[in-house]
Amino acid sequence: MKNDFFVVKFLKKVLKNLINFFLCFKRPDIIKIDNVTYIAHWKRFRENTYFFHQIFKNYNQPIKVLGPFHHRLKCRKILDKIIGWPHGRADFFITGEAGDPLFDYAEKQIGYWRNIKNNKNIFRFPAWMWYLDWKEFDEKTYNSSWYYGMRLSIDKLMRPILDSYSYESIKNRKKKSILITSHFKNKRKELFDIVNSTIGCDGLGKAFGNRDFRQLKMPLLEKYNYNLCPENEIYDGYITEKIPDAFHAGCIPISWCNPSDLEEDFNSEAVVNLFGLDNLQRKEVLTELSSYGEMFEKLLKVPLLKKKPKIEPLIQFLNNENNFKSSS
């Protein structure tokens, strides 16, 4: 029985490597919209849901933007060096994924990176900021809320949960957590089991075999006291929209992320972070949380954002005339 397990595991690894080998030869998708050429972006890319297109479409010159979904396999970088990269140098590499900057392929880089954000060719603008209710964008033409239900209110994130939801309504929610996920990679399955055995945790998504794309995220989260929302991986500056999504819906975020990355963007006192704790310590924290005592009430009384996000520095970075050398 044990030998069968290792054989199956070995065959899965061989199959995965074989698939990756053939994917290395697949060229990236190219989408041309208005004055912008998008390379290696999402398969279901739509300009009205993409934050940066709301800015780029107003420029009077062609722009080339490289996305994150071509170079995640190391073999592709090797092949590009051997047979050449046919698309020329992009103006911008923009990513909402964890990964290194691509200076060989683009002039400027926009992503999560915290430790190298002082580089003049890098601008740190994490993807959670794409979904904020920026007053500069017309909601009729920019639909960033298609999966959540509304754009994230900056004002709401800067106030405690109890400023947006009454204590009575919070107490009447399901006294458990929910995890929405498509996979159980890294620590996700381990964290789910611990949270489920301690305070209870419902599951939704491909990982649980019950995906429902018609279910908006915000009204779903508003039914629960907690949202288990661990990051996909630990990477320099990598903090996604999962935490603000939870907080915005009046859910206490239960995360797993680098504490330094968390504090870069958010108030750590508004989040339960299980990173760096062993299973016994995690259970102790969760047990205290579920007692609805001082810890629970304190989390409801602090804001998630300590300072108001600004879009002007990003606009200035994008408007720099030196950004468009590759398209001129």
| 307 token code pair | 């300072």
Mean pLDDT value of segment 102-129 = 94
pLDDT of res. 147: 87
> What CA–CA distance (Å, rounded) separates 50 from 144?
7
Closest CA to 250 of 296, 288, 285: 296
Tell me if the pTM is above 0.95.
no
Closest CA to 43 of 62, 25, 30: 30
Tens of pLDDT, residue by residue over 161-205, are: 999 999 999 999 999 999 999 999 889 999 999 999 999 999 999
pLDDT of res. 322: 55
Closest CA to 250 of 135, 169, 148: 169
Contact predicate 53/80, CB 8 Å:
no
> Count of CB atoms within 10 A of residue 50's CB?
24
Tens of pLDDT, residue by residue over 219-261, are: 999 999 999 999 999 999 999 999 999 999 999 999 999 999 9
Contact predicate 51/136, CB 8 Å:
no
pLDDT of res. 123: 97
> What CA–CA distance (Å, rounded) separates 169 from 150?
20
Give the DSSP H or E segment for 265: helix 259-265
| 40 token code pair | 């290696």
- For residue 169, what are the contacts with CB-CB under 8 A and spacing of at least 6? 250
Contacts of range 141-149, beta carbons closer than 8 Å, 24 or more positions apart:
141/48, 141/54, 142/48, 142/49, 142/51, 142/54, 143/48, 143/49, 144/49, 144/51, 146/49, 147/216, 147/217, 148/216, 148/217, 148/218, 148/245, 149/216, 149/217, 149/218, 149/219
Domains observed in the chain: 2-132+311-324 (no CATH), 154-300 (3.40.50.11660)
Mean pLDDT value of segment 306-321 = 91
